[in-house]
Amino acid sequence: MAMEPWGTTLTNVIAGFGAGLLVAAGAGWWATRVLTRRARQAEGRARAAEHLAEIGAMTGGLAHEIKNPLSTIGMNAQLLAEATEELPNVDEQQRGRLVRRAGTLKREVERLGDILSDFLDFAGELRLAPTRVDLNRLVEELGDFFLPQAESKGVRLRVELATDPAWVNVDAPRLKQSLLNLMLNATQAMADAPASTPRELMLRVRHNTRDGRVEVHVTDTGPGMDDETAERVFHPYFTTKAGGTGLGLPTSRRIVQASGGDMSFTSELGRGTDFVIALPALE
């Protein structure tokens, strides 16, 4: 077999080496471009997150600033109603109209205050003070507290505790707030149901041995939820209650999740709803 001249071989080597350099340079240019684009995207996301944080801080500060004058307006509305009742030489019909208007103003101010409070609970920094708590005792106390309100709405309240202590590490007042919100929602849902519908609310504590968690069930015999409502029930500002803020359930779930647990539910139209708070069990 004929051998290529040494010069030709050297030329081929140099040509191959040059082609390799061109390929390497092209790959390096492309990698640099990709890295630059990713860096710019990361920088954009960081700026957007910083902007959202600033907006969140400003919104929280604005809500606090609004609450102060609202309190003043509410107090003056109450004073105005009292002063109107004592006005001399005023027709009784006109006096009653003025008193009702002042009362309406006071109620609307209180409603706005509740909306702001719910917003601050949902959007503000969540600071928990967890302690070792027996869910049996916590649920039993909550049942005793809520019983008069349930009876006033014609709702039968039942409490079923776990046979063994149900120790968890939670912020007890915050967890009570979450459970109370579920109980209030259930009571109102049953109050809106037909009179022939049984009205029962059950609080039940049980150990889930499969995943080492303790569950609290808040079960009602209300009208249940359709698929559209069930899909949006944890969305902020979604509510089916007149005058509701739509922040109670999202805030309650946030409290539970911050405690290392989760909140879920099952619902069936015409049968009722079962909300479940599941928390890691302590030995």
What CATH number is associated with residue 196? Answer: 3.30.565.10
Domain that holds residue 111: 10-125
Lowest mean pLDDT among 62-71, 105-114, 195-204, 208-217: 62-71
Tokens 């027709």 identify what position? 91
Q: Does 190 lie in the same domain as 261?
A: yes
Torsion over CA: 202, 207, 211, 212 (sign): positive
Residues forming beta bridges with residue 167, ordered by sequence position: 134
Look at residue 53 in the predicted model and tell me its pLDDT: 52
For residue 102 the two structure tokens come to: 């002042």
pLDDT confidence bin for 179, thresholds 50/70/90: very high
Contact status, residue 221 vs residue 271, Cβ threshold 8 Å: yes
Task: Mark whether 76 and 174 lie in a shared domain.
Answer: no
If asked whether residues 151 and 31 sit together in one domain, one would say no
Question: For the segment 140-171, what is each residue's pLDDT rounded down to a tens digit?
Answer: 999 999 999 999 988 999 999 999 999 999 99
DSSP 8-state code for residue 277: E
Q: Mean per-residue pLDDT for 3-9?
A: 53
CA distances from 224 to 43, 146, 152, 180, 220 (A): 46, 22, 22, 19, 9
Residue 1 domain-assigned (yes or no): no
Assess whether pLDDT exceeds 50 at residue 13: no
Average pLDDT over residues 16-37: 62
Residue 98 and residue 57 in one domain: yes
Report yes or no on 265 lying in a domain.
yes
Assess if residue 256 is contained within a domain.
Answer: yes
CB 156 within 8 A of CB 201: yes
- Give me 178's structure tokens: 């979450």
Residues 46 and 141 in one domain: no
| % of the chain with per-residue pLDDT over 90 | 28
- pLDDT at position 82 is 80
> Is there a domain that residue 104 lies in?
yes
CA–CA distance, 5 with 33 (Å, rounded to integer): 42
Q: Are 160 and 204 in contact (CB under 8 A)?
A: yes
pLDDT given at position 144: 94
Question: Given this model, what pLDDT does residue 229 score?
Answer: 86
Residue for token pair 């030489």 = 89
Residue 38, amino acid = R
Of 45-49, 147-151, 203-207, least confident by mean pLDDT is: 45-49
66 and 92 share one domain: yes
In angstroms, rounded to a whole number, what is the distance separating the alpha carbons of residues 265 and 276? 6
pLDDT in tens, 227-278: 888 888 888 777 776 656 677 888 888 889 988 999 999 998 888 999 999 9
Query: Encoding tokens for residue 180?
Result: 């109370």
pLDDT of residue 3: 52
Tally of CA atoms within 13 A in the half-sphere of 223 that contains its CB: 14
Strand pairing category for 200-208 and 156-160: parallel
Which bin fits 199, alpha (ψ -120 to 50), beta or left (φ > 0)?
beta
Assess if residue 3 is contained within a domain. Answer: no
pLDDT for 49 equals: 56
Q: Which of 103, 125, 147 is the last residue of a domain?
A: 125
The DSSP 8-state label assigned to residue 186 in this structure reads: H
The yes-or-no verdict on residue 60 having pLDDT over 90 is no
Poorest-pLDDT segment among 24-38, 129-143, 246-260:
24-38
- According to the model, what pLDDT value does residue 14 have? 52
Pick 73 or 169 by higher pLDDT.
169
**Same domain for 211 and 100?**
no
Rounded to the nearest angstrom, the gap between the alpha carbon of residue 271 and the centroid of all alpha carbons in its chain is 25
Q: Give the end of a domain, one of 125, 152, 185.
A: 125
